[in-house]
Amino acid sequence: MGVRSWIEGWPVYRQLAGDDPTGRGEAVRSPRTAALTSRTETADSVARSVCPYCAVGCGQRVYVSGGRVTQIEGDPDSPISRGRLCPKGAASKSLVTSPRRQRRVLYRRPYGTDWEELDLATAMDMIADRVLAARAQTWEDVDEQGRPLHRTLGIASLGGATLDNEENYLIKKLFTALGALQIENQARI
C-alpha cells in the first residue's frame, strides 16, 4: 500500500475531500463493510406480513432462510407505514424466534405444584371432554316462563384482538353453536 492510497483510505480524509462531509456514508465505508451481504439479500423467501402489536397496521417483510425467520423489516411499499417500524415492531423477530417462547404443551393437574408435559392430541381430547361435561352440567334449556335459552353459562372465553378475523369468526361460530355466551375480548376493555 502506497502512502497516497493509505492517506486516501483514511476516513477523515475521505470525509474532508469527498462528497460525504458529515461522515455518515461513503467516507466511513470500509472494505469489510463493502464485502458484507445482508440477510435480507440472501433470504430464500419473503412473506409480506403485518405487525402484530398495535392497530396502526404497519407492513412487514418477513425474510426466511433454511425454513427459519432470519429478519423482519418494515415494508416500504406500505402506504400506512412507508417502511417504518417502532421498537416493538422492530423487535418482532425476537417475538417469534426467542428461546423463551413456549413450544410444547404444558399441563397442571388440579392441586398440582408444577407443570407436566402432555401430548397435544391428548390435550385436545381432554379439553373436548371438559367442554362437553361443563356444558352438560350447566345447560339451560328455557327460562322460568318457558322461553328458549339454549345456552350454558358454565364456559367462558376471553381474547381475540391479537388474532385474525378468520380465527375470531370460527371462535364465535363454534362457541355460539355450543351455546356458550360469555365470549369476550380486549375490545371490551
Partner 1 sequence: MAECHPVGFQWVMEAKRRGATVIHIDPRFTRTSALADTYVPIRAGTDIAFLGGVVNYILGNELDFREYVLAYTNAATIVDESYQDTEDLDGLFSGFDPEKGVYDPGSWQYAGHAPDSGDTDADRETARPLRHESHGPPIPAGTERDETLRHPRCVYQILKRHFARYTPEMVERVCGVPREKFLEVCQAWTRNSGRERTSALVYSVGWTQHTVGVQYIRTGAIIQLLLGNVGRPGGGVLALRGHASIQGSTDIPTLFNLLPGYLPMPHHAQHASFSDWVAAIRHPGQKGFWADARAYAVSLLKAYWGDAATAENDYCYGHLPRMTGDHGTYQTVLNMVDGKVKGYFLLGQNPAVGSAHGRAQRLGMANLDWLVVRDLYLVESATFWKDGPEVATGELVPEECRTEVFFLPAASHVEKEGSFTQTQRLLQWREKAVDPPGDCRSELWFVYHLGRIIRQKLAASTLPRDRAVLDLAWDYPVSGQHDEPSATAVLREINGFEVASGEPVSGYTALKDDGSTACGCWIYSGVFAGGVNQAARRRPGAEQSWVAAEWGWAWPMNRRLLYNRASADPSGRPWSPRKAYVWWDAGKGRWTGHDVPDFEADKDPSYRPPLGATGVAAIAGDDPFVMQSDGKGWLYVPTGLIDGPLPTHYEPAESPVANPLYRQQSNPARKTYPRPDNPLDPISAVFPYVFTVSRLTEHHTAGGMSRHLEYLSELQPEMFIEVSPELAAERGLSHLDWAHVVTARAVVEARVMVTDRLTPLRVAGRTIHQIWLPYHWGGAGLSVGDSANDLFGIVLDPNVLIQESKVGTCDLRPGRRPTGPELRRYVDGYLRRAGLRKG
Nearer to partner 1, 28 or 185 (CB): 185
* Rounded CA separation 103/68 (Å): 15
Binders in 49-88 for partner 1, by CB under 8 A: 49-59, 62, 64, 67-69, 72, 76-82, 84-88
Cell of 162: 391479537
Nearer to partner 1, 40 or 84 (CB): 84
Which of 9, 26, 38, 173 lies at the binding interface for partner 1 (CB under 8 A)? 173
CA 185 vs. chain centroid, Å, equals 18
Nearer to partner 1, 28 or 46 (CB): 46
- Tell me if 127 contacts partner 1 by CB under 8 A: yes
Backbone Cα Rg of the chain: 28
Per the listing, cell 418477513 goes with: 62
Minimum CB–partner distance for residue 34 and partner 1 (Å): 28
Minimum CB–partner distance for residue 52 and partner 1 (Å): 4
- Tell me if 174 contacts partner 1 by CB under 8 A: yes
- Tell me if 120 contacts partner 1 by CB under 8 A: yes
- Tell me if 108 contacts partner 1 by CB under 8 A: yes
CB burial of 30-46 (b: ≥16 within 10 Å; e: otherwise) equals eeeeeeeeeeeeebeee
- Tell me if 22 contacts partner 1 by CB under 8 A: no
- The DSSP letter of residue 189 is -
Look at residue 117 and give its three-state secondary structure: strand
- Tell me if 17 contacts partner 1 by CB under 8 A: no
Contact 57, 80 (CB under 8 A): yes
Minimum CB–partner distance for residue 117 and partner 1 (Å): 10
* Rounded CA separation 117/108 (Å): 9
148 Cβ partners below 8 Å, 6+ apart? 141, 142
- Tell me if 141 contacts partner 1 by CB under 8 A: yes
- Tell me if 151 contacts partner 1 by CB under 8 A: yes
